[in-house]
């Protein structure tokens, strides 16, 4: 959370899940604070849920699960873009990072 606060790009409230869905490690949706998040969103005061999750298999799994759980709440569900880091060298980027960079490209 600190790095998000330091970016000064986000002025809203945080909800910490307490981990990512990783069944092999015993992390199930029930072991995370997803129910509390759903209750917060259902109040109607939340217009958007921004998923700030690591770009890993567990992060993707958690994002898909949250998208499904939050679908009927009326809040939009978005996820932070992922791709090439500032100052990174394109030559050393992996295929998944490049793929996400192409999908998340923006008009200049």
Q: pTM value? A: 0.84
**Of 21, 103, 28, which Cα lies nearest the Cα of 61?**
21
Dihedral, 59, 61, 64, 69 alpha carbons, nearest 10: -100
Which tens digits make up the pLDDT trace of 27-67?
999 999 999 999 999 998 999 999 999 988 999 999 999 99
Chain centroid, CA 63 distance in Å: 6
């Amino acid at each position: 959370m600190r790095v998000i606060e330091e970016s000064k790009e986000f002025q809203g409230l945080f909800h910490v899940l307490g981990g990512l869905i990783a069944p092999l490690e015993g992390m199930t949706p029930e072991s995370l604070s997803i129910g509390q998040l759903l209750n917060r969103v259902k109040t109607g005061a939340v217009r958007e849920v921004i998923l700030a999750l690591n770009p890993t298999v567990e992060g993707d799994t958690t994002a898909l699960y949250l998208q499904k759980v939050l679908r009927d709440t009326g809040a939009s569900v978005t996820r932070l873009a992922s791709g090439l880091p500032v100052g990174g060298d394109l030559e050393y980027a992996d295929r998944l990072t490049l793929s996400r960079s192409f999908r998340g490209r923006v008009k200049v």
